[in-house]
Structure formats: structure tokens, C-alpha cells
Structure 1
Amino acid sequence: MRRLAPDMDPEVVAQIDARLARASDEHAVAIPWAIESGSRAWGFPSPDSDYDCRFFFVRHRDAYLDPWPPRDVIETPLDAVLDVNGWDLVKAVRLAENGNATVAEWLRSPLVYDGDPAFRDALLEACEALVDVHRVGRHYLHVGEGQWQRSGADRGRDVVLKRVFYALRPAAALHWMRAHGSATPPMNLMELFDEAPPPPALREAVERMVTAKAVTRELGTGRVDDVVVRWIEEQLADARDRYDGDLSPVGARRRRAAAAFRELVDAWAPA
């Protein structure tokens, strides 16, 4: 499948396609899922936002039996426009089992360069089966608190809007998790709001911020509405209490993760 936004630069997209093809050939891997991450997929791009392509890759089965396995990431040269890199399936499963929400987010990106829905569904099903909600909640809480402290938006002055959005999205993910009782929220901010509606005044204020960011440079500044400040702080405070309990035992979850990994390798390793 391929699902891209009409405002994405076709020349840049072609360069990304070429990098993905070259990575597959040079490293002898299958790339069953390649998506856009970053502000474009999160729903609050700026005119000068770069392109953040992320992908999962699967090696030949024998590579996973090598006592000196190759690196579990593939990185391409970083420049002002392109940031293209990917994770080995084994890295993705390990991170998902440990509560890293990024794996499920990539699987739910609204912008797909190339992907097989069957792979997406299988890995997402594995994520939903093996992740610990408390671990994912703590992941979003940690990210949200760090970005919120950096933003300075609670001090009533103009701030870099990008940093506020980087705190707002984890807060919205925590709100979504509370509403759904699940650990695999969407990546896109407005999808989070659609599936777990916040107060109307909050959404209206955020939509004004998105509109402002869409016509300013990536590090543009602005004043944050009080309703946004209060809502972010409420979500973070709730998560501190909600995810303060014990984590589930590791053993059973890792056995499920290992079984899911083997099934995915059987299905998607290159011949």
C-alpha cells in the first residue's frame, strides 16, 4: 500500500523511494513497512519541516542465527531535508516488549511510502498482545514531561510551538489510553482527538495552534492558550498516579514476544 499527502514534495518522495530500494539491495533485507514519522505524520508540520522516513526490515533467517549478528539499524546519510533510517524486526519486537510505543506508532502512521498491510496487522497484533500498558504509559509520561519542561509554556510567555506540540502529543496519547484501555494509540494528533475527544475548547485552541505552525518556520514561536497548558498538565498528573504501580512479570511477556518474532520471520524473511 501507499498513502501519502498531496502536499508532499514528489521529488523528495522519489529520493526516499530510491533510498529504500538501495537499502534493501545493499543489506539484502526485506522492507515490508516504510512510513513517514515526525511532524508531518503527527499532524502539525511547518513549511520547512524535513522528511522523517522510518522503516522496519527483516533479514534472511540465517542472519538471526549468527553469533555475531549485524547491526539492528540501517541508517542513510542525514541532510537538511531527509532523515531515513530503519529498525530490524528483532529490535522492534524487543522495544515493543519493553514498553517503547514507537513501534506501534510507526505501524499506525497515516503516511505510508510502501507497506504490506498484512505485515502491519501481524506486528501490531503482536504489540497489542505483549506490551504492558503501564510500561507504555510510563514511556509517554517520560516523553511528555521532558518536552513540557523544555517548552516553558507554563510560564506565560511566547515559546517555540514545536516543543509544545512535542508535549501535547504524548499527553493526548495518555488521554487516549485512559479512554480505550489500550497501549497502541494512533500517531496523528487529530486522530487521537477523534478517537478520544478532549473538551471542545481544548480542541479549538489546538487547531488554532496547528494553523499557526503551518505558516511559520519549524522553530516559530507563539503564545499558548491557558486551556492547553492546563489540559497538558492534567494529563501528565493523572498519568503519574495511574502508571505508578508494579509492572507485569517479564518472563511470560518475553516468551510471547519470542514466539511472535519467529512467526514474523517465517512469514517475511527474504528467500
Structure 2
Amino acid sequence: MALRAIPDSMDPTVVRSIDDELARIERDYRVSVRLAIESGSRAWGFPSPDSDYDCRFVYVASLDSYLTPWRERDVIETPLVGLLDVNGWDLTKALRLLVNGNAVLIEWLMSPIVYRGDANFRQDLRDLANRVADRNKVARHYLHLGVKQWELAEHHRSLKKVFYSLRPAMALRWLREHPDAAVAPMHLPTLLEQCELPGDLVASVAELTELKSRTREMGGGEPPRPIATFITAEFASAVDAFPKTPDRDMDQVKALTAEFFRGEAMTVGAAG
């Protein structure tokens, strides 16, 4: 079943340009785009009037390209044109990063904005992520990202940058409240809805999100106290809640991941 989920708020001209670029990439690079999503602030739930369109995709190359010692690059990067940014990863790269605790692929799988894709592929890859992702490594990915962004927000006194630390902090809270899950939503409003949070925090986030939605430049200043308190508390809690753990026995993880990859590579190769 084909996937497509584009909100009415997105510029149809830009969306058509993304569709055309994805078709060109498949043709010129001889790959199959298995999932293409929006990964930026539009998908995170706090766009500005001038937010970029950040299309990211996972692709599978021809079978022959995997059966050579001289592999091509495992990324496809296109030039930034205006607000349009389109880049993607080979499935091999995406799976290696997933196993190593990188949360980027997980976020792509959870994006509420989908340009194109196969529903079975996304669901199967979500299921694999839940089985092989190390939740402590994923959480520490969010912790490292969030702390870095929080330092930048404080240094530049940037209200816009507050969002880039708030979302990792909310992901950490969600993971703490859902101890059996390794994959958190990427959409900030969904994270808020699925966590037990103080009312003043929810209200402050709503006010700041509304300001960002209508203002190109939010300017500087101190972040609302409930948000600042929440961010610093979540980062402090995460250090103990998600400790560095010894490496797992990777045999089963690699076997499951390799099985998934082979299935996709053979399917695309047979179709080609």
C-alpha cells in the first residue's frame, strides 16, 4: 500500500518539486526510494513561516551495486535550492546507524509527513527498530543533541533554538514514561499528549509554538521559566535514567538486521 500524507499547510508547488526530484533521483541513480518523509520543523510540529522543506529518504540500490567490492557512496545529496533540501541514505547506512543507537532513522520512520513510501516497508522497519534499537543509546543520542542545543540557545539567547533542545528533552521524558519502548514519536505535540506534564509547561509550549508559527524571527530573550526548568531537569534525569551500558551481544541484532536488508535488496533487485 502506498503512503502519502501531506498537510494542506504545505505549499503544493514545493511539494510537486519534491515529487519531481524524487522521481529524478530514482531514474538517474537507478535506486528505489522506499520511504520519503519530511524531517524538519514542519514534521516536528513547530514550523515558522519561512521554514525549509527538509525531505529525507531511504533507498535501496540495484542488487548488482551490492555485489561489488567497489561500492558507490551510501548517500544521495542534492543541492539546496531555495527552501528545498532533499537528501537520502542507502538502506545499508540507515541500518548500521540504527543498530549503533543513532535516532535519525527512527525519527524518519515516525514522521507524520510522508511524500511517498511503502506502508509495509515502513511498518516492517519500525518493527525491526523496536527489536534492535538500544533504547539507552537512543536516549543518549537525544541527551547529547539536546544539551548541545540548549548551550547554543543560552549563549545566543535565542527563543527559536529553545525548540531544538525542548524536543529532545520531551523525547527523553517520553522514553522514561514508556519503559518498554525504544522508538519515541518525533512530533512535539504528540510527545506532549502522551506524557504526564505540568499544566504550566503545556501552556508555555503552546504559546511559544504559536509565536513561532507567525514570526519569521522570534528574537532573543529568556525562555519561559516552565520550559527552562523542564529542559534542565530532563537532561539531569537522563544521565542516570539512561546510563552507558556494556555492548550487547550483537549476533542476533546483526542477524535480524541482515535478514531485513536481504529481503529488501532481493525484492528491489527482482523488480528491477
Which structure 1 segments of 5+ residues have no match?
A: none
Question: Residue in 2 aligned with 1:247?
Answer: 246
Counterparts of 1:162 and 1:103 in 2: how far apart (Å)?
24
Q: Residue 6 of structure 1 aligns to a residue in which SS? A: coil
Aligned to 1:174: 172
Structure 1 residues 66-85: aligned runs within 5 Å: 66-85=68-87
CA–CA distance in structure 1, aligned partners of residues 120 and 193 of structure 2: 25
1:135 corresponds to which residue? 137
**Structure with higher RCO (Cα < 8 A, 6+ apart):** 1
Give runs of aligned pairs for residues 207-218 of structure 1, distance below 5 A: 207-217=206-216
Aligned length: 267
Shift of 1:223: 3.7
Query: What is the identity, as a one-letter code, of the residue corresponding to 1:237?
Result: A
Which residues of structure 2 form unaligned runs of 5+?
none
1:219 deviates by 5.8
Q: Which residue of 1 aligns with 2:262?
A: 262
Matches of 2:102 and 2:177 in 1, distance apart?
20
* Counterparts in 2 of 1:121 and 1:209: CA distance versus 1, 3 Å: same
- Calculate the aligned-residue CA RMSD, in Å: 1.6
Paired position in structure 1 for 2:187 = 188
CA distance in 2, matches of 1:99, 1:188: 19
Residues 48 and 218, structure 1, Cα contact 8 Å, conserved in 2: no
TM-score by length of 2: 0.93
- Aligned equivalents of 2:40 and 2:257: distance in 1? 27
Give secondary structure in 2 for the equivalent of 1:214. helix
1:228 to 2:227 alignment: yes
Whole-angstrom distance in 2 between the partners of 1:250 and 1:92: 20
Matched residue SS, 2:147: helix
Displacement of 1:268 after TM fit?
4.1
Q: 1:173 to 1:197 in 2, by over 3 A?
A: same
- Whether the 8 Å contact between 1:213 and 1:220 is mirrored in structure 2 is no
2:75 and 2:172 map into 1 onto residues whose CA distance is 28
Q: Indicate conservation of the 8 Å contact 1:132/1:247, yes or no.
A: no
Whether contact under 8 Å (2:77, 2:86) holds in the other structure is yes
For residues 115 and 74 of structure 2, the distance between their equivalents in structure 1, rounded to whole angstroms, comes to 21
Equivalent in 9, 17, 28 of residue 15 of structure 1: 17
| Cα offsets for 1:216-249 (capped at 9, x unmatched) | 1156435411110010111101111122242332
Q: Is the 8 A contact 1:138 1:243 kept in 2?
A: yes
Q: State the partner residue of 2:56.
A: 54
Report the Cα distance in structure 2 between the residues aligned to 1:197 and 1:166, rounded to whole angstroms.
21
1:262 CA drift (Å): 1.6
Task: Specify the code of the residue in structure 2 equivalent to 1:249.
Answer: R
Deviations 1:144-191 (A, max 9, x none): 1100111008xxxx9322211000000000011111121211111011
Percent same amino acid at aligned positions? 45
Measured after TM superposition, the shift of residue 107 of structure 1 is 0.9
